[in-house]
Chain A
Amino acid sequence: MTSSAHRLIGVRVFASAAVIAGLTLTAIEWPAARRRAAAARRKLAELETVRQMREESERWAEGRDLWEELDIQTLTPPDSLSRRILGDTAAPEIIERGAETVFGGWRRRRVELVFHEAPLAAVGRLVAEAAAARPPWRLAEFRATAAPSARGYGRVSLVFEGLERAEETP
């Protein structure tokens, strides 16, 4: 047998071995690689979800910071707000609807103001003034029934909600 024939046999053996090795490795590795790739895809999807959660959590924290950064952390008394807008002509009946402690040493107060007869436009201004106060009073509920005696007047009930530092309340 010539050396060329020997070389050709060597090349054939090498090529066959390489192909067999390649196919064997593919048969072994391919299912594992597919599983691993699927796991990586799932983890990346979960990572995206967790990142969205983190952003959401940071937004909430920023919401709390609005209160934390206030210089005065005690709610303005509702009667003084009412007096500022409506004067003494329509003094409301003020009913405390309860308070609860919330996260981080804050408490939430609910106060109802009942006007037996008040101008609706002025009540609207009172709501805006309460929202502009610091800490703000938020309008949670509003009920008004028109007075039969005068147009634009009515019986009004407002429930305000507000957050303030728990230890600073008397």
Chain B
Amino acid sequence: MFNGPKVATGYGIDFGDGFLAAARCRGRRCDALPDAGAAASAIAAAQRRGGALVAAALPAGDCTVRRLSVPLRSRSRARRVLSSLLDPQLPFPLESCAAAFSEIRRAPDGGFTALAVAAPRDLLRRRLERVRAAGFDPAAIVPEGLALWAGSVREAPPIGPNAARVALYAGADRWVAAAGIGREFRWSVSTPPPPSAAAPAAAEALTPVLRRLRADGEFRNATLDWRWCGPAVPEDSLLDELRTSIAAERPCEFSRHADGEALLARALARAARDAGAALGNLRSGEDEHPDLAALRDRREKRGWLALAAVGLALVAVNLFGGAAVARRDADAQSALEQAARSVAGTSRVPRGRELAAARTALDERREALKPFVRGTSAVAATSLATALRQAAGQEIAIQELQISDEALLVAGGAPRRAAAEALSAGLEREGWKTALNWTSGAGETGVFEVRGTRP
């Protein structure tokens, strides 16, 4: 019913022999903390308050990362078979492993692909103990190679979907290379750091990476973008020598990540905000951090409380809304009764008969007062005045003139048809609907008859 926990603040811990870096991610900001060791207690306090989570990395050499293909069209069914698909690909029994699955996406063939990460639980617990000994209690332990790759493509996005890159983390106790195409992670390799700052030693340290690149057909002909980061990135002169030696075999470019020393810590801080779900949190099952269960409980509780609020709102709307409608109905009834009583002139009008009672009373009153209403009507007088005025103005000789409230007749002779039409139009303006009958005589003269009715 509810998704995994999410918090506002994430802390990332990059922890290795002789090196500790911490970063905080809050909102859009993600910054390295200046003194990671001193920040441990503040981070622990933030974690206790429940608004923050900590993530650390499991060394790339301690975990396995595989991309799985599931030939099923249902996401939920695909999710259920991921463990059994991973099992035969592991060099150790799945029962002794912690495993996590991320990037579950629809494949072009209609099935799904997923990124699976697994690590033996004893290695995971050993790593956890070491991080705890340093004063941190990470809720998420994610594969180092994936975290490195995520940080690299986030902070320096690839130039295109086919750009090949190796993000190389140079630490005091390990070098880690994460390779991918575009934004897609492919694999990671961990090697011991070179024993000296000489070029041959550094090239020797890169040998497993180069061997893997040679073996991977996707990278064979690509121009490789090497991005260096970490606390022990070699000097520029050494990087130049390394680039020259690699370029003899394949085209490549070397560059450093901006503020690369804490890139891994920043990537882990970002991952901590969703408890490492995007990268695969290996601290799950029996090793799950109690904070995650508490956060899930809290989220679930909030969800249920929201549901309860909806239910209570429904109850309130029904109770108060029903009462409001009833009040509106009662007000309308009261106003209707009052208005009907005042029209009917009685003290009581039967409920439901208000309109009929008012209509009956009005009909009676209309009949009684009709002579007075009629007494103010001056239809015939006004029409007579109009007819006489028009006739005088148009030189019309009226032979016959009959006017009542309902009908009108004007007949006579006119010097031209337009004069009779003007007479007819004048009566139309008085509200008559007229019909002109014209009979031509000598010249333009003629006899006419205008009949009118009241519409």
Contact = CB atoms under 8 A, between A and B. Distances in A.
A144 B398 contact: yes
Query: Is the contact region of chain A dominated by helix, strand, or loop, or is it mixed?
Result: helix
B131 interface: no
Interface string A1-43: 0001101100110111111111101100110110011011001
Nearest to B293: A4
Contacts of B297: 4-5, 8
Contacts of B402: 141-144
A65 to B, nearest CB: 9
Residue with the greatest number of chain B CB neighbours at <10 A, chosen from A5, A19, A131, A136:
A19
5 contacts: A29-B318, A40-B328, A54-B358, A128-B381, A142-B380
Contact of A163 (B301, B372, B380): B372
A51 B332 CA distance: 13
Contacts of B339: 47, 50-51, 54
B253 interface: no
Given A43-B333, A46-B336, A57-B343, A21 B304 contact: no
A11 B397 contact: no
Contacts of A97: none
The 5 closest A-B pairs by CB, nearest first: A22-B314, A18-B311, A15-B308, A19-B311, A103-B368
A46 B354 contact: yes
Contacts of A72: none
A57 B322 contact: no
A25 B400 CA distance: 79
A46 B358 CA distance: 10
B304 to A, nearest CB: 4
B365 A138 contact: no
A18 B306 CA distance: 11
A51 B341 CA distance: 11
A26 B318 CA distance: 6
Contacts of A51: 339
A37 B325 contact: yes
Contacts of B399: 145-146
Nearest to B408: A142
Contacts of A50: 336, 339-340, 343, 354-355, 358
Contacts of A151: 397
B315 A21 contact: yes
B7 interface: no
B403 A142 contact: yes
Interface of B: 294, 297, 300-301, 304-305, 307-315, 318-319, 321-322, 325-326, 328-329, 332-333, 335-336, 339-340, 342-343, 354-355, 358-359, 362, 365-366, 368-369, 371-378, 380-381, 384-385, 388, 392, 397-405, 412
Contact of B314 (A23, A37, A120, A142): A23
B325 A20 contact: no
Contacts of A61: 369
A147 to B, nearest CB: 10
Contacts of A17: 311
Interface of A: 4-5, 7-8, 11-12, 14-23, 25-26, 29-30, 32-33, 36-37, 39-40, 43-44, 46-47, 49-51, 53-54, 56-57, 60-61, 63-64, 66-67, 102-104, 106, 108, 120-121, 124, 127-128, 131, 136, 138-146, 151, 154, 161-163
B171 to A, nearest CB: 40
A33 B322 contact: yes
A19 B343 contact: no
B363 to A, nearest CB: 10
A136 B381 CA distance: 12
B365 A60 contact: yes
A36 B297 CA distance: 44
Nearest to B339: A50
Nearest to A102: B371
Contacts of B372: 60, 63-64, 66-67, 102-103, 106, 163
Nearest to A100: B371
A143 B377 CA distance: 18
Given A22-B311, A144-B402, 9 more contacts: A11-B308, A18-B308, A43-B332, A53-B362, A63-B375, A66-B376, A102-B372, A140-B405, A163-B371
B321 to A, nearest CB: 6
Contacts of A14: 304, 308
Nearest to B388: A124
A22 B321 CA distance: 13
Nearest to A145: B400
B307 A53 contact: no
Residue with the greatest number of chain A CB neighbours at <10 A, chosen from B301, B318, B400, B412:
B318
A138 to B, nearest CB: 6
Given A46-B336, A63-B369, A63-B375, A19 B301 contact: no
A131 B381 contact: yes
B384 A139 contact: yes
A60 to B, nearest CB: 4
Contact of A40 (B312, B332, B384): B332
Contacts of A140: 380, 404-405
B371 A8 contact: no
A55 B108 CA distance: 76
A60 B366 contact: yes
Contacts of B328: 37, 40
A103 B358 CA distance: 19
B332 A8 contact: no
Nearest to A127: B381
A144 B401 contact: yes
